[in-house]
Amino acid sequence: MRLARTEPTDQEPDIRARPPLVREFLLVAGLFLAYKFGRQAANGHVEEAFRNAGSVWNLERALHLPGEGAVQGLLLHSPPLIHAANTYYATVHFPATALFLVWLYWRRPVHYVRSRRVLAALTAAALTLHLLFPLAPPRMLPAAGLVDTGQVYGPTVYGRTPATDTMANQFAAMPSLHVGWAVMVALGLIAATRSRWRLLWLLHPALTLFVVVGTANHYWLDAIVVVALLAVALAAFRLPRAARTAPARLPGPGAWGSDEGAAVPAYGGGSRRAASGVRAGGVRTAGSGASVAPAARADGGWPAGSEVSAAPGAYESEGRSATFEASVASGPRAGGGRTAGSEESVAPATPVGHVGHVGGAR
């Protein structure tokens, strides 16, 4: 029986699950190009974009969402902080997502395939919304009374005239792919790693949300909508069961030069802590140590609950060598030979019909 866990192991990645590199490079590059050109294709709907912006702003007030100006007010007290937020918005979005995919491809191929599919589906859904629902960001909406921090403090990735901006579509605020990709990066790394600190990856989408709202590039609803789309994509593309539940294995080299650890079995009468080199039937091989909690023997040798600590030595199914020593914890021995609460060191007896040799050689 193998114990199971839901977190990834530290074993080498399964290269059989890794897609061909050239194909994946072209596929991911196509995804980014589709994102850029798709946003530009939705450009030019100026009147509709401002009309939708007014509707979104009024809906947020009806839902009693906090005003975006409250977040921006935290930034306006410090020009260096505003500059840092603008830099984060302009430079982190693409590189962070690209590095995330590269690391998954190399170290967690199964997780990579799923994450790439989720990101592709999310981006396609976002581009569809950009075409169907052009939206001016809050920095352009007079009713919001917000500052365009990119233009005032810099740096910015947008031109001064949104309607004629050939570098980016400034009317593609709904939904926010900055937030959507950041959330996917965090969730993907949490699922693909086993560090106790992995939940700290959630700081990336939290900081991204603070930045996109504080710089007045997105509304709260832009983030809410993209998280809902991401949830649908994650539900549609699930990890294979083998990647979600992996057998628990102990690290460490084996006794015979193997790099794999031994599976951890469960025993009815106790527990066994084993490194590699355990032979079938529970017999310990030469050259390694084990701590075994044995069950009661039929002949009364050791009772259930006693603990044996074995030093390295040859221990075969027919007998053991003279170098084997046992330290027996408390527990009465059948026949009165062992008293409760006492401790003794026992040298092994030579099995009947066999002769033990010093050094473990037989």
Instruction: Write out the DSSP string of 238-272.
Output: PPPHHHHSEE-B--S--TTS--PPPB---BTTB-E
Average pLDDT over residues 19-37: 79
Nearest alpha-carbon partner for 162 in 173, 146, 154: 173
Average pLDDT over residues 293-309: 46
Average pLDDT over residues 350-356: 45
Average pLDDT over residues 277-304: 46
Q: 215-267, pLDDT tens digit by residue?
A: 999 999 999 999 999 999 999 988 766 555 444 344 444 434 444 444 444 43
| Per-residue pLDDT at 106 exceeds 80 | yes
Q: Which residue has the higher pLDDT, 108 or 323?
A: 108
How sure is the predictor about 4, in pLDDT bands with cuts at 50, 70 and 90? Answer: very low
Alpha-helical segments (H) within 215-341: 220-236, 241-244
Residue with tokens 């997502």: 97
pLDDT of residue 166: 66
pLDDT of residue 40: 67
pLDDT of residue 95: 93
C-alpha to C-alpha distance for 294 and 328, rounded to whole angstroms:
11
- Percent of the chain topping pLDDT 70: 58
Q: Which residue has the higher pLDDT, 323 or 169?
A: 169
Average pLDDT over residues 171-196: 94
Q: 41-95, pLDDT tens digit by residue?
A: 666 678 899 999 999 999 999 999 999 999 999 999 999 999 999 999 999 998 9
| Per-residue pLDDT at 170 exceeds 60 | yes
How sure is the predictor about 103, in pLDDT bands with cuts at 50, 70 and 90? Answer: very high
Question: What is the residue type of 241?
Answer: R
pLDDT of residue 211: 97
C-alpha to C-alpha distance for 356 and 207, rounded to whole angstroms:
69
Highest-confidence segment of 25-34, 185-194, 237-246, 333-342: 185-194
| Per-residue pLDDT at 160 exceeds 70 | yes
